[in-house]
Amino acid sequence: MRTEDLVTMLATGALPVDSGAQARRWTIALAAGAAVATLMMATLLGVRPNLAEDVTVPMFWIKFGFAAWLFLGAFAASSRVGRPGAPFGRLPAALAAPVIAMWVLAAVALANAAPAEREALVLGQTWAECPWRIAAFSAPVFIAALWAMKGLAPTRLRLAGAAAGLLAGAAGAFVYTFHCPELAAPFLGVWYVLGMLIPTAVGALIGPRVLRW
Amino acid sequence: MSASEDRLKNLLVRGLAGDATAYHGFLKDLSALLRGFLKKRLPRTPDEVEDLVQETLLAIHNQRHTFDASQPLTAWVHAIAKYKLIDSFRRRARSDLLTEPLDDALEVLSTNDADAAEARRDIAKLLDGLPERQRLPIAYMKIEGLSVIETARRTGMSESAVKVAVHRGLKALAAKIRNET
């Protein structure tokens, strides 16, 4: 087929493009992923019984906001990385900001603590499970986000995989806050970040293979 | 360059809204620009240029919903053309052909080349290899130029199924091209 004929074929009967389709795809993906993750959390671990007491502690809301901010940032990054040539602008800074803020809070908390208490602030009671649970709860959103990304046109596949992974990791962390008893900034700055980085790394690893188009 | 940016963007925006004539004009002009862009970057394998022009046109058509009218068209086209070019290098494992820098986004609309060579790969043959449920809607709608309603009547499919089949069929065609080399 000559190029001229291909052009004619592609243009013939070309229908108006549905501009809302991308937003719908993301909405379906994230709603389904978050619903499954929430169900996993509620049935496998359960919502913490003393959650009602926690909501009066500022650190609970900081933890909540930390995950929510990263989720929104990773969503903005994912939708942009899926559009060829779209600039990232200040997104890298917006993604780094909550992590740096958490590390600053952690440094302050460690500096104010007695040397003997510092280890407990970092390790908490659940350090060994925390990153793996966040990674596990990120799985449904991870699959959903890769599906949504496949409907776009990422030209940097590793970055696209990583963005989808971070989005899933932040969703996993957000869902996990409803179970997790830890409120110390040093703990969150290490184990929450690590938990979110697991799906991010997996995404970067498999991006070039699964997102090719 | 900015003249072609504005003109092409206008054609594409109208095309995305359903103006098939404007969209045809967009693809036609774009194919000449892509040819210029790719010829320069494949100086040692000129016979691969037309194949890649066609592959990139199909990619742009299939991903046209990712175009954001608030962004420059040049950056969008360049990102796709560069992606397809690098992907073809990777497929053929001949990255040594990369002699020209790829990073000048403005250049994608700077060299016009209307002189189409013969493509070596025949897209019509690949189309024939698609499953019936995709091949027929494409043949009726995109080659014979029938409407969605008429295509739906002839194939016994619903109108929305026809639209989905055409879309999926063209994506499957792109996958066939990708896996062929």
CA angle B25, B31, B37 (to 5 degrees): 140
Q: Are B98 and B127 in the same domain?
A: no
Q: Does one domain contain both B138 and B75?
A: no
Report if residue B93 sits inside a domain.
yes
Query: Are B89 and B95 in contact, with CB atoms under 8 Å apart?
Result: yes
Position B115 in a domain: no
DSSP A182-211: ---HHHIIIIIHHHHHHHHHHHHHHHHHHS
pLDDT on residue B89:
87
Give a yes or no: residue B174 inside a domain: yes
Inform me whether the pLDDT recorded for B94 exceeds 60.
no
Looking at the structure, do residues B34 and B76 belong to the same domain, yes or no?
yes
- Reply yes or no on whether the pLDDT at B52 is more than 90: yes
- Which of A144-158, B25-39, B95-109 is predicted with the least confidence, judged by mean pLDDT? B95-109
**CATH number of the domain within which B152 lies:** 1.10.10.10
In a domain? residue B118 = no
Same domain, B84 and B130: no
Of A4, A10, A22, the CB nearest to B116: A4
Count of structural domains, chain B: 2
pLDDT digits (tens, 9 = 90+) for A99-158: 999 999 999 999 999 999 999 999 999 999 999 999 999 999 999 999 999 999 999 999
Q: Is the pLDDT of residue B20 over 50?
A: yes
CA separation (Å) from B122 to A6, A159, B51, B126, B140?
Answer: 10, 34, 9, 7, 19
Would residue B37 count as lying in a domain? yes
Please check the confidence at residue A35 and state whether its pLDDT lies above 50.
yes
My answer on whether B18 and B75 are in the same domain is yes
Tell me: pLDDT of B121 over 80: yes
Is residue B170 within 8 A of residue B139, CB to CB? The reply is no
Question: Which of A3, A8, A83 has the CB atom closest to B50's CB atom?
Answer: A3
Nearest residue in chain B measured CA to CA from A149? B66
Check whether residue B68 and residue B92 sit in a common domain. Answer: yes
Does residue B6 share a domain with residue B87?
yes
Cα separation, A57 vs A177, in Å, equals 13
CB contact under 8 A, A12 and B83: no
Does residue B95 sit in the same domain as residue B19? yes
Can you tell me the distance from the alpha carbon of B181 to that of B175, in angstroms, rounded to the nearest whole number?
A: 11
- pTM for the structure as a whole: 0.89
User: What are the CA-CA distances from residue B51 to residues B41, B46, B56, B116, B180 (Å)?
Assistant: 14, 10, 9, 10, 12
Domain range for B168 is: 123-180
Q: Least CA distance to B82: which residue of chain A? A: A155
Size (chain B), residues = 181
Helices B73-92 and B20-41, interaxial angle, to 10°? 50
ipTM for the complex shown: 0.89
pLDDT for B11 beyond 70: yes
Of A3, A12, A17, which has the smallest distance from its Cβ to B116's Cβ?
Answer: A3
* Chain-chain contact of A13 with B142 (C-beta, under 8 angstroms): yes
